[in-house]
Amino acid sequence: MLDHRLIRKGDRLRHRLFGTGTVTDTLPLGDDTVVTIEFDSGSTKKLCAVISALEYAEETKEQKDK
CA 1 to chain centre: 12
Residue 4 phi/psi, 5-degree rounding, is -60, -25
Give the pairing of strands 55-56 and 44-48: unpaired
Question: What is the fold, at CATH topology level, of the domain defined by 4-59?
Answer: Thrombin, subunit H (2.40.10)
Where are the domains positioned within the chain? 4-59
pLDDT at 59 over 90: no
* pLDDT confidence tier of residue 50, bands split at 50, 70 and 90: confident
Q: Residue 53 has what pLDDT?
A: 86
Lowest average pLDDT, out of 4-13, 31-40, 55-64, goes to: 55-64
Distance CA 45, CA 38 (A): 7
Amino acid identity of 55? Answer: E
Average pLDDT for the chain: 88
pLDDT at 7 over 70: yes
